[in-house]
Amino acid sequence: MGTQDSLARILSVGEAEKLPEQQFPQGWEVTSLKYVINSMHSGGTPATSNDNYWEKSEGGIPWVTISDMSGDNQYVTNTEKNVSQAGIEAASLRILPEDTLLFAMYASLGETAILNTEAVTNQAILALIPNENYCVQEYLNIYLQSLQPYLPALSASNTQNNLSAERVKNIPIILPPIPIQQRIVSFLNYHTTRIDALIERSQKLLKLQDEKRSAVIHRAITGEFHEGTELKKTGVPWINEIPESWALKPIRAVVDRRREENSPVRETHMLSVVRGKGVISYENRSASGNKASDDLEKYQIVHKDDIVANRLNLLIGSSGIARKKGICSPEYYVLKPKKSEAYPDYIRYIFVDSRFLKWLSRYGKGIKNLRERVYYQDLRTEHIPIPPRDEQIEIVKKLDDELDQIDNIKEKLLALISLLKERRRALITKTVTGKLNLSENESQEGQELPV
C-alpha cells in the first residue's frame, strides 16, 4: 500500500482504533484528534449592519476569515476586518492567543494557518490548541496539511466541501513519539522551505506573464502594433491615442444586443462564461458557477461569433466569443457584432482589456470588488477604438500569435508549480506515515531529499 493510500485509508476507516498498527513504525500510534487537543472551537460573525461591532484597521481585534488564511498565508497577522469589543460580546467570540492553529472547515477545506497575534474567527474556522505532551503544534499543522486532498471525502455535502466540528474531532491522527515529531518538523521545515521558495519564484514569473499578456492586448487594440503611424488624441482616458486612420465609436455602433428567447425550446446546448477561458460548454466549467436551471425556456439563444459577457462579472473579464450556437443565462449580455463594422475576435479582445475594464468600473453597481453589475445602457455608450475591418483581422492574427507564446510559457510554469506542490505533499505524506526514515544523528540539512 502506498503512503498516500495509507492516509486515504485512515480517513475512510473513520475510527482510529480499527487501523492495524503495523502500518507504522514501532512506538507510533493512531488516535483521534479529539484526544490530543486541549481546546477546539469555532467563532462567529457579528451583525455586519451594525457599525458599532466593527473597527478601522488600527483598532479592535483582528477577525479572521478563510480569505485571510488561504493560499500562501502560513501565518495570520493582519486581517481584512477588525471587530470591536462590542462585536466580540454580541457574537460571544473567544479571543484566541497568539500561536493558535487555525483549520478551515468550509470552502477552502483543510487550509491551515497559525496566528501571529491575538484574534477572533468566524464560524468557518476551527481554532485548535493541542496538548503538547502528546502532539507538537507544528507537527499537527503539517499533519493536517497532508490530509487536505482526502478531507472532501468526509464532507457531509455533495455540493460544498464543508466539515462539522464533530467530524474534525474524529479525524484520525498518526502520532510518533514527541522527539520524532520534533525531528519531522525540523526536517520538513528545511526541505519544504526550499520547495516553497521555488514555488514562489515560479508564481512571480507567472504573474509577470499575466502582466505581459495584459500589456500586449492593450498595445494591440490601441494601435501600438503600428510603429511609426501618425497618432491622434482621443480624449478617452483609458485609450489616450490611436492611429489617425482609426475611428472612435460607441459600442452600440459596432454591436447589436441580441435578445432571442429559447421559447419554445429550440436549443439545448448550454454555454457558460468563465474568466480566462471565455465561452465554454456548461459541463466543462468544473465546479464554478451557479447550478443550471432545468427550464430551458428561461435561457437566451447565442449564435456563433456572438460576444457573450456576464454582466455580474464583466469587470473582472468574464466575457468571450461563442464558437458554436447554444443557449446561455439571461444574466449574460449577448452581443452581435455588425459585420460591416467589427471583426468579432477584435471586439472580444477589447472586452478583456484591463484598462478598459478599470475605466468601465465607474458604472459598477453592487458589492464592491466582488459582483458589480454593469447595466447595458451604460455599456453601450462607451467609446472604443475601431480600425478598418481588414486591419482588425490583421491585429487579431498578430495578437493571437503573441499570446500563444505567452500562454505556452504560462502552461509550463503552471505545470512546474503543480509538480512542486505534489512533491511537497508527497514528502510530507511519506514523513508523517513513517515511510521515510529520519536518522536521529544526521542533520536535517544533510539528509537527502527523496524524489
Angle between helix axes 137-147 and 3-13 (nearest 10 degrees) is 90
The answer to the question of residue 448 being in a domain is no
CA distance 387 to 244: 10
CA distance 436 to 425: 13
Mean pLDDT of 367-386: 84
The answer to whether residues 239 and 94 belong to one domain is no
> Taking the CB of residue 113, how many other CB atoms lie within 10 A of it?
23
The answer to whether residues 35 and 168 belong to one domain is yes
pLDDT of residue 78: 83
More confident residue, 72 or 415: 415
Q: Phi then psi for 407, rounded to 5 degrees?
A: -65, -35
Which tens digit of pLDDT belongs to each residue from 91-126? Answer: 999 999 999 999 998 878 888 999 999 999 999 999
CA distance 355 to 317: 11
Mean pLDDT of 255-277: 92
More confident residue, 450 or 29: 29
pLDDT-derived band at 55 (thresholds 50, 70, 90) equals: confident
Mean pLDDT of 203-224: 94
The answer to whether residues 149 and 75 belong to one domain is yes
Which tens digit of pLDDT belongs to each residue from 272-306? Answer: 999 888 999 988 876 555 556 678 998 999 999 99
Which tens digit of pLDDT belongs to each residue from 126-164? Answer: 999 999 899 999 999 999 988 888 888 777 655 567 888
The answer to the question of residue 443 being in a domain is no
> Taking the CB of residue 130, how many other CB atoms lie within 10 A of it?
21
The answer to the question of residue 445 being in a domain is no
Tell the residue number behind the cell numbers 497575534, with chain if given. 117
Instruction: Give the CATH number, domain containing residue 354.
Output: 3.90.220.20
User: For the chain, how many residues are written?
Assistant: 451
The answer to whether residues 240 and 288 belong to one domain is no
pLDDT of residue 108: 84
The answer to whether residues 256 and 358 belong to one domain is yes
The answer to whether residues 381 and 267 belong to one domain is yes
pLDDT of residue 19: 47
Which tens digit of pLDDT belongs to each residue from 436-448? Answer: 878 654 445 545 5
Kindly report the average pLDDT of the chain as a whole number.
Answer: 86
- Are 163 and 24 spatial neighbours (Cβ–Cβ below 8 Å)? no
The answer to the question of residue 62 being in a domain is yes
The answer to the question of residue 321 being in a domain is yes
Task: Say if residue 56's pLDDT is above 90.
Answer: no
More confident residue, 6 or 199: 199
- Are 449 and 191 spatial neighbours (Cβ–Cβ below 8 Å)? yes
pLDDT-derived band at 312 (thresholds 50, 70, 90) equals: confident
Q: What domain range includes position 358?
A: 247-386
pLDDT of residue 443: 43
pLDDT of residue 436: 85
Mean pLDDT of 77-83: 88
